[in-house]
């Protein structure tokens, strides 16, 4: 009896390893992730996948992101506003042309009533004006508007930088989620194959009378659950690829592969370096500072409503009864119609029912609010430096432990399976070991993604993305 039990266990062990070799020899299903070796050998049916690095993904995302391009467009519009405000301070030149025709009164009727010789509403019955006008305005409001628009352009530029750094975080998360999902698929496939082999082992042991039928039932339930987890992992891998494809490609394209650098070591900068870079180049603080300057120029522009405004026009050209450079006058020959004139206008504000005072009050209220927002941005920066750095440091410290846990869980799962074949453990221990291995491996992949995303969040403060 004892010899038959030994023979049955040996037979079960041989069947276990034979199933493993048969499963390894099988071709992978169509939904299996493409390996790097397969990527390097394109087939005739479809082109080779496009290999995307993280930097390639970032460059493509900046070109195709609607929100980021909207922020760039806003910044470009603000620059054009600044150019227009600057041009408003410079002299302008126009060329004006007009003709005025006035109805004349017959001479006989005029003499009868003692009226003037001609009815003239203008300088002459026919008056032609063809003049160049150089116009210049000296206005404190225009100067304040130019400075305010310049500050607004600085705000838009800083906000575009904020959008750019936020896009980096999104791309990094989507990019490394693909690598993590692929590795999860590989682990789920191994566990599914392990579940099938374990089911075969329990069936063989049941036939030898060494285990109860309940072990077979539990093994079959576990195998079915592993198959379900494999399908879920494949679905997660597909969704991760589609999420990145939407970000980086202008048209739909899922024929690409990412570089496998998820688990490459990446150093964490020191806290002092992060603080120094964040203090020097933080777009949120720069935007808040520019907003305070803009509000200050709003106050100056509102107060400029109390000041006079001077405008000067210099005219040169024709203002005559004939549309010609020269006019022929009997006895005097030709007389030039060309001439020049200067018109200076000084507008002095006197009374507008307190409108200017109200505008000044509005501008002062906006300036006070912008100062409060600047103070908040500075406090948030100090808090985010501590929080995001602690997040990155914690993720890095936990990553080594997660890797070790995944390794130990895999070894434990193999050992407990062998012990079960020798009758030294129960089916529940095997199932628990498989579950522990799946959980530990998934936590390891998620921990690696967490660390990469934490580094990307740090670059929103510093502008520097730490890469392998």
pLDDT of residue 212: 87
Question: What are the pLDDT digits (tens) for 19-44?
Answer: 443 443 333 433 344 443 344 444 45
pLDDT of residue 37: 39
Those residues whose C-beta lies under 8 Å from the C-beta of residue 398, and which sit 6 or more positions away, are: 447
pLDDT of residue 449: 96
The whole domain housing 52 covers: 2-64+151-302+377-462
- The label of the residue with tokens 């390097």 reads 40
Q: Alpha helix (H) ranges present in 261-306?
A: 271-280, 283-303
Which residues of the chain fall below pLDDT 50?
A: 1-8, 10-43, 117
Pull the structure tokens for residue 244.
């990145």
Q: Is 258 helix (H, G, I), strand (E, B) or coil?
A: strand
pLDDT of residue 126: 81
The total number of structural domains in the chain stands at: 1
Write the DSSP symbol of residue 306.
G
pLDDT of residue 273: 92
Domain-embedded: residue 276:
yes
Domain-embedded: residue 351:
no
pLDDT of residue 121: 58
Q: Is 135 helix (H, G, I), strand (E, B) or coil?
A: strand
pTM over 0.85: no
pLDDT of residue 230: 95
Give the integer Cα–Cα distance in Å for 316 and 363: 42
Question: What are the pLDDT digits (tens) for 302-354?
Answer: 999 999 999 999 999 998 888 888 877 777 678 888 889 999 999 999 999 99
- Edge-to-edge strands, sheet with 92-101: 92-101, 126-138, 309-320, 338-347
pLDDT of residue 112: 52
Domain-embedded: residue 384:
yes
- The label of the residue with tokens 């009374």 reads 351
Domain-embedded: residue 85:
no
Give the integer Cα–Cα distance in Å for 379 and 383: 6
Domain-embedded: residue 140:
no
Pull the structure tokens for residue 398.
């936990």
* CA neighbor of 414 nearest in space, from 77, 8, 81, 16: 16
pLDDT of residue 106: 60
* CA neighbor of 347 nearest in space, from 122, 142, 149: 142
pLDDT of residue 99: 87
Pull the structure tokens for residue 31.
């939904």
For position 20, which CATH number holds?
1.20.1600.10
Domain-embedded: residue 100:
no
Q: Which residues pair with 132 in a beta bridge?
A: 95, 316
Pull the structure tokens for residue 68.
């980021």
Those residues whose C-beta lies under 8 Å from the C-beta of residue 68, and which sit 6 or more positions away, are: 61, 62, 160, 163, 164, 167
Domain-embedded: residue 56:
yes
Domain-embedded: residue 442:
yes
Q: Report whether 445 contacts 414 (CB < 8 A).
A: no
């Amino acid at each position: 009896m004892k010899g038959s039990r030994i023979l049955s266990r040996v037979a079960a062990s041989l069947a276990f390893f034979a199933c493993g070799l048969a499963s390894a020899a099988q071709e992978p299903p169509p939904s299996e992730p493409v390996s790097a070796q397969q990527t390097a050998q394109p087939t005739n049916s479809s082109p080779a996948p496009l290999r995307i690095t993280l930097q390639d993904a970032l460059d493509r995302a900046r070109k195709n992101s609607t929100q980021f391009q909207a922020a760039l467009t806003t910044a470009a519009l603000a620059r054009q506003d600044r150019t227009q405000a600057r041009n408003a301070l410079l002299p302008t030149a126009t060329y004006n042309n007009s003709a005025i025709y006035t109805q004349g009164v017959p001479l006989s009727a005029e003499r009868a009533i003692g009226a003037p010789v001609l009815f003239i509403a203008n300088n002459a019955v026919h008056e032609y004006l063809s003049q160049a006008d150089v116009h210049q305005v000296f206005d404190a409001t225009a100067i304040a508007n130019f400075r305010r628009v310049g500050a607004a352009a600085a705000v838009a530029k800083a906000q575009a930088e904020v959008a750019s750094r936020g896009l980096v975080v999104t791309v990094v998360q989507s990019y490394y989620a693909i690598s993590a999902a692929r590795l999860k698929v590989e682990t789920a496939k191994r566990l599914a194959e392990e579940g099938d082999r374990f089911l075969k082992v329990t069936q063989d042991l049941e036939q030898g009378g060494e285990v109860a039928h309940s072990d077979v039932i539990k093994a079959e339930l576990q195998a079915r659950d592993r198959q379900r987890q494999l399908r879920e992992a494949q679905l997660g891998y597909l969704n991760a690829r589609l999420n990145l494809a939407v970000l980086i490609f202008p048209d739909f394209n899922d024929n690409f592969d990412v570089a496998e650098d998820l688990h490459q070591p990446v150093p964490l900068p020191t806290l002092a370096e992060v603080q120094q870079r964040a203090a020097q180049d933080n777009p949120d603080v720069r935007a808040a500072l520019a907003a305070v300057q803009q509000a200050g120029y709003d106050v100056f522009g509102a107060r400029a409503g109390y000041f006079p405004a001077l405008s000067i026009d210099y005219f040169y050209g024709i203002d005559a009864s004939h549309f010609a450079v020269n006019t022929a006058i009997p006895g005097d020959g030709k007389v030039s119609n060309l001439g020049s004139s200067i018109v200076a206008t000084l507008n002095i504000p006197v009374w507008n029912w307190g409108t200017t005072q109200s505008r000044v009050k509005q501008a002062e209220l906006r300036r006070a609010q912008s100062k409060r927002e600047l103070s908040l941005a500075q406090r948030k920066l100090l808090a985010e430096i501590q929080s995001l750095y602690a997040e990155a440091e914690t993720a890095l410290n936990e990553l080594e432990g997660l890797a070790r846990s995944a390794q130990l869980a895999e070894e434990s799962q193999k050992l407990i399976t062998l012990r079960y074949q020798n009758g030294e453990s129960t089916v529940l221990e095997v199932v628990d070991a498989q579950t522990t291995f799946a959980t530990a491996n998934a936590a390891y992949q998620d921990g690696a993604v967490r660390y990469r995303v934490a580094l990307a969040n740090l670059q929103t403060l510093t502008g520097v993305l730490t890469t392998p």
